[in-house]
């Protein structure tokens, strides 16, 4: 992991050596949609609802302070959510089960850009911080001749997080579009790898 981080940083530094210094913006704000593919082992287990690996309902927001045309300090927050339910009936027995999952990340780090063309700016960033996830499983069972029975279980955990992202910003001046793909490592009792995709708008001041 450490070698991968050094490799990403080195490649970006070499690419940035020939970059021009035309951008005088000091602050960049971005927000948009985020997708995660992750195996979060701390989620509560359910009888009928499968544990999710794909989380398509997510958001992110970040703010970057420009130190130079190549380097910026970044702070980022994000939230991801998932809901699923399952029901079945067998004779006089029926059950309904639901699973709700959320996790949030809070990270900061360094972004390295290579602004060789004013309108297309490739970048990479290394972020480190924390993550907290929570999950709730509710199960309702009933027989045709009796009252329904409800059971609820909850789970949650916190862990350190490392993210390596690379992407491109299509810069139209004050407003732009950013697309990025990243590798994420959750450092918990059972370490997990994840992939994330981000698509959003950027605003420069």
Segment 11-61, tens digit of pLDDT:
444 434 433 344 456 899 999 999 999 877 666 666 666 777 889 999 999
- What average pLDDT does range 79-95 have in this prediction? 81
Confidence grade of residue 75 (pLDDT, cut at 50, 70, 90): very high
CA atoms within 13 A on the CB side of 180: 31
Question: What is the C-alpha separation between 69 and 90, in angstroms, rounded?
Answer: 65
pLDDT at 86: 77
Domain 2-204 has CATH 2.40.160.20: yes
What residues does each domain of the chain span?
Answer: 2-204
Segment 129-181, tens digit of pLDDT:
999 888 887 878 877 766 777 777 777 778 899 999 999 999 877 899 999 99
Q: Are strands 192-204 and 175-187 parallel, antiparallel or unpaired?
A: antiparallel
Measuring CA to CA, how many Å separate 198 from each of 18, 58, 167?
Answer: 27, 9, 9
8 A C-beta contact, residue 88 and residue 45: no
Distance of CA 17 to the CA centre of its chain: 30
Question: What is the C-alpha separation between 34 and 180, in angstroms, rounded?
Answer: 10
Mean pLDDT for the chain overall: 81
The token duo for 3 is 């070698």
91 by Cβ neighbours in 10 Å (0-12 / 13-18 / 19+) ranks as exposed
pLDDT at 12: 42
What DSSP assignment string belongs to 7-75?
HHHHHHHHHHTT--------EEEEEEEEEEEE--TTSPP-SSSPPP-EE-EEEEEEEEEESSSSEEEEE
Question: What is the C-alpha separation between 105 and 163, in angstroms, rounded?
Answer: 10
Evaluate if residue 72 carries a pLDDT over 70. yes
Segment 106-138, tens digit of pLDDT:
999 999 998 777 788 999 999 999 998 888 878
8 A C-beta contact, residue 184 and residue 201: no
Choice between 167 and 5, residue whose per-residue pLDDT is larger: 167
pLDDT at 49: 64
8 A C-beta contact, residue 198 and residue 107: no
Question: What is the C-alpha separation between 13 and 103, in angstroms, rounded?
Answer: 33
pLDDT at 19: 38
């Amino acid at each position: 992991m450490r070698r991968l981080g050094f490799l990403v940083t080195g490649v970006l530094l070499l690419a940035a050596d020939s970059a021009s210094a035309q951008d005088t913006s000091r602050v960049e704000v971005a927000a948009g949609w985020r997708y995660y593919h992750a195996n979060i082992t701390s989620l509560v287990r359910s009888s009928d609802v499968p544990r999710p690996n794909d989380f398509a309902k997510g958001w992110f927001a970040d703010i970057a302070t420009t130190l130079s045309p190549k380097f910026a300090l970044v702070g980022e927050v994000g939230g991801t959510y998932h809901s699923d339910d399952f029901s079945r009936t067998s004779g006089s027995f029926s059950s309904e089960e639901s699973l709700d999952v959320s996790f949030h990340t809070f990270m900061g780090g360094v972004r390295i850009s290579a602004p060789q063309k004013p309108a297309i700016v490739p970048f990479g960033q290394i972020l480190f911080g924390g993550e907290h996830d929570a999950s709730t499983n509710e199960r309702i069972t009933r027989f045709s001749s009796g009252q329904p029975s409800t059971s609820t279980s909850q789970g949650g955990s916190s862990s350190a997080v490392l993210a390596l992202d690379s992407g491109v910003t299509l810069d139209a001046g004050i407003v732009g579009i950013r697309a990025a793909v990243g590798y994420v490592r959750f450092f918990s009792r059972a370490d997990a790898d994840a992939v994330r995709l981000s698509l959003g708008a950027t605003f420069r001041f």
